[in-house]
Structure 1
Amino acid sequence: MARLHRILQANTNHCKAAQDLLVQTFAEWLVDVAVVAEPYSVPRNWLGDEDSSVALVARSSTDSPPISLIEKGPGYVAAAWGDIALIGVYFSPNRPLVDFESFLGVLAMVAGRAEQRRVLVVGDLNAKSVRDSAHLRSAGGGSIVDLAFATPSLATHVVDWRVELVETLSDHRYVRFDVSIRGSRGARTGGQSPFPRWALTRLDQEAAGEAAFVQDWLTPPVDIRGVDAAAAQLRDSLTEVCNSSMPRSHRPPPRRAVYWWSEELATLRAACVAARRKYTRSRRRRPRDLANEDRLYASYVEAKSVFKAKLAAAPDRARSEMLEDLDNDPFGRPYKAARNKLRPYGPPVAETLEPTLLDGVVQSLFPPPGTVSPLRQ
């Protein structure tokens, strides 16, 4: 079986804000793999080339095949992704043509060595075009085209290729397309089981014991004459124990935003797109109004500058808020996260108790002073 997977092609121009925005876009669009030319940095979970000039990043998902490094060199990184050999590339425009021809020869050998029969080469080779409809476009109207090559057996499975007209904080635009991959783990057909399933490998035995005690306290005496009622009661109790001690086996919906993204940033990004569209529309009018074009371009630059400044400050602000929470509630969420005690799949056991029962439990465990005589030997 096969399913469509989304690929994003980008160039961040070694800009931190552009890379931060790319990470948010990656999550928002549910991208499966991104090819990033000229990254600001190459995090540990990215696959980078030897020069840190191009990188591959994949989304961790049960319905997408894992990505694994095949080989890397100056200006290229190759990885196995399902039945596809994905090669990310970057070549500097400052190098001579003879170096470029040698680089293409190296890419041909890399593609030939891949065990996968389907090969996809994606990246920024700094090819130049005189047409004003390309991936990178300057205010003067020139363009440089980012490219993607696929073997014939794969090219027919590449669909919905398009240039995205969103703000990237780079002079490159995003390119997005879908490709089908055989053998994807999420491509199986058939209905899901109506019965609940839990991830037994993530069982918290201590939490299971606590939940079992709570269910024992809450469970009324069993009437042996009502077998069906007793079975339903046992089923409900076991379900509560499982919910409190381990997550369900189905994967939760993926996060569509990074932790520091906000509605304000989304609004500022939309304002950048609107300002740029006004400018590009004005350039297509005949006769051209150069004064109006200059005014609209200045408005776009101003909107982009405000958005970039807000985005650059967002991660630090989010971290500061987390530290404030740590100071205000040291044993709250930050502490639980650090101790790996958070269980988003079930509320704390104490929250499920009736108030009167919870009060009795607390009084039994922590009796008031003077009400209990110490044991004497």
Structure 2
Amino acid sequence: MAARLGLVVHNTGNATTFRRPGCEETTPDITLSTERMAGSIKNWKVLEDYTGSDHHYISFMIDTGTSTNQQRKTTGTRKWNIAKLDTSKLISAIDDQNPSSNSPIIAGKTVEHTMLNITRACQKAMPKASHSKHKAAVYWWTENIAQLRRTCLRLRRSYTRSRRRGAATQEADQYKLAKKELKHAIDDSKKKKWEELREDINRNPWGLGYKIVMKKLGARAKPPDLTAAKMDNIVNALFPTHETRARDPEHILRPTQIPRFTLEELQLATAKLKANKSPDRTGSHQKFSK
């Protein structure tokens, strides 16, 4: 099927992607690409991380070309906090690094020297942006779950090694129990956190529950705490009330003052109607059934 469609399979080695204790390991998950992209996919492998499922994650890299890699090596991945930029220091640093008129300049090194000078000027003019490489843990994560996960991964590796040598009934049972215990611990932690969130909402409407919901809706900040008197003042200022203005009797038309339509006007209006159709109140037309 893959060859008929012009696709290339990138699964390599004997690593299986579906592993369930007591069952035969298989590889139902495959990575396909076109023949043109096949040479760009590198480092294909099956990850051993915990997924909460019998299927395992697949990891690979896509090489975008040597020119991009060289550009990344030249420019680097530095980031600075532009909000704290000192313009005077930046200009001064660039002026100090300008070469003299008698200094020889090699055309092939111009870009490299320019980027190096800009980097040094940025280092003097503003601090680097602070960022953390570690992802924040999910709300239900605990140290007990972390320990159970480490145990589950260790038993899974032991079971995988034993399975290659032959039957591994004992290792399979241990891994199955550890996996079940980890799932129960995660479910219990999620339920506990959910109950805590419900209690927090009852105590503080603008607390964690409000932040979770409004973050999804794109809110920037919670509304300020206002008293009833301030709320009344705001409403009265935005929606002021006025005295009812009496109608001018001179501008009120009486039924006797409304002119009646003539026979010619009625015939002219009916002549504009389409055949076999009748206008309704909304202006649409409905065809008569014959």
TM-score (norm 2): 0.44
Structure ranking higher in helix proportion: 2
The structure with the larger Rg is: 2
